[in-house]
């Protein structure tokens, strides 16, 4: 969360805003409803303060309550959609996502890395791979997606080792890489190849291919990826079809930003 470490940060830091956002982020798919006590445990905030934050968020319309339990309301989506409405890059990539999707017949995404997760902030696609379930704003562990592997490959081997150290990887399919060595092999391969290729990591019979998107200053902006049904197509054939379009988008966006 916040890091009020420097004199500037201590002077500008608003602890109440930090805690309010921590309360909102405490809700997830396994904790859709929280009591004040549970929210306090999940955030490290005192129970008394937590209840005040919950009541304030309820009054603002971000939560509803039955007097004991609290849950999020659709108003919370305004926070996320403010990013989609204001961010330039997701809008800029949309024409390229559409072109890739139409030509390849898969679903295309632009994603960014947020801590340990990939967040999909733009998408276009057909129903052929709708079972992947990547809607706008979806979060996926970085090791499970081509976009995540691509972005992890932009880190140094030492940074990757630190990221992997002690991490537990859950199996989503019989093919999911669940060991440090297996995940590292995917990242190393992406670094060598200049693109990421993953198969059946999150969903069976789905293949992902991704490239990095940089700004002209060399900063990592995110990753464009395409998800394709595997069918009888080989990985080599899929890469040969996808890479010219992905590279076209990569170079065009580099020039634009």
What is the pLDDT, as a whole number, of residue 130? 47
pLDDT of res. 1: 44
- Which residues, including other chains, have CB under 8 Å from residue 7's CB and lie 6 or more apart? none
Long-range pairs for 212-219 at CB < 8 Å and ≥24 separation?
212/150, 212/151, 212/153, 212/154, 212/250, 213/89, 213/93, 213/110, 213/249, 213/250, 213/253, 213/254, 214/254, 215/254, 215/257, 216/254, 216/255, 216/257
- Residue 91's pLDDT is 85
Q: Which pLDDT value is given to residue 138?
A: 85
User: How much is the pLDDT for 8?
Assistant: 52
Closest CA to 240 of 205, 215, 209: 209
User: Could you tell me the strand order of the sheet in which 196-199 lies?
Assistant: 139-141, 117-125, 107-114, 220-229, 206-214, 196-199
pTM across the whole model: 0.80
76: left (phi over 0), alpha (psi -120 to 50) or beta: alpha
257 residues of the chain, pLDDT tens digit each: 444 445 556 778 888 898 999 999 999 989 999 999 999 999 999 999 999 999 999 999 999 999 999 999 999 988 877 777 667 878 889 999 999 999 998 899 999 999 889 999 999 875 444 444 577 788 999 999 999 999 999 999 999 999 999 899 999 999 999 999 999 999 999 999 999 999 999 999 999 999 999 988 889 999 999 999 998 999 999 999 999 999 999 999 886 66
Please report the pLDDT score of residue 187 as a whole number.
98
Q: CB neighbours of 76 closer than 8 A, spacing ≥ 6?
A: 24, 62
Which domains are present in the chain? Answer: 7-78 (1.10.10.10), 87-256 (3.30.450.40)
Per-residue model confidence (pLDDT) at position 80: 78
């Amino acid at each position: 969360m916040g890091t009020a470490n420097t004199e500037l940060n201590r002077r500008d830091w608003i602890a109440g805003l930090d805690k309010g956002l921590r309360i909102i982020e405490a809700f997830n798919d396994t904790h859709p409803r929280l009591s004040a006590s549970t929210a306090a445990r999940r955030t490290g905030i005192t129970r008394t303060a937590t209840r005040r934050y919950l009541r304030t968020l309820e009054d603002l319309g971000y939560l509803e309550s039955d007097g004991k339990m609290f849950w999020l309301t659709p108003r919370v989506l305004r926070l996320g959609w403010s990013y989609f409405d204001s961010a330039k890059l997701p809008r800029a990539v949309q024409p390229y996502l559409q072109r890739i999707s139409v030509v390849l017949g898969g679903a295309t995404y632009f994603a960014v890395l947020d801590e340990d997760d990939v967040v999909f902030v733009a998408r276009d696609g057909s129903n052929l791979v709708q079972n992947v379930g990547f809607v706008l704003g979806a979060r996926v562990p970085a090791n499970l997606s081509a976009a995540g592997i691509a972005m992890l490959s932009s880190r140094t081997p030492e940074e990757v080792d630190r990221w992997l150290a002690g991490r537990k990887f859950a199996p989503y399919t019989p093919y999911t890489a669940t060991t440090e060595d297996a995940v590292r092999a995917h990242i190393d391969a992406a670094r060598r190849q200049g693109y990421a290729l993953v198969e059946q990591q999150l969903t069976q019979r789905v293949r992902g291919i991704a490239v990095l998107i940089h700004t002209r200053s060399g900063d990592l902006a995110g990753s464009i990826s395409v998800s394709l049904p595997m069918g009888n197509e080989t990985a080599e054939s899929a890469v040969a079809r996808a890479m010219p379009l992905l590279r076209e988008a990569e170079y065009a966006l580099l020039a634009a930003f």
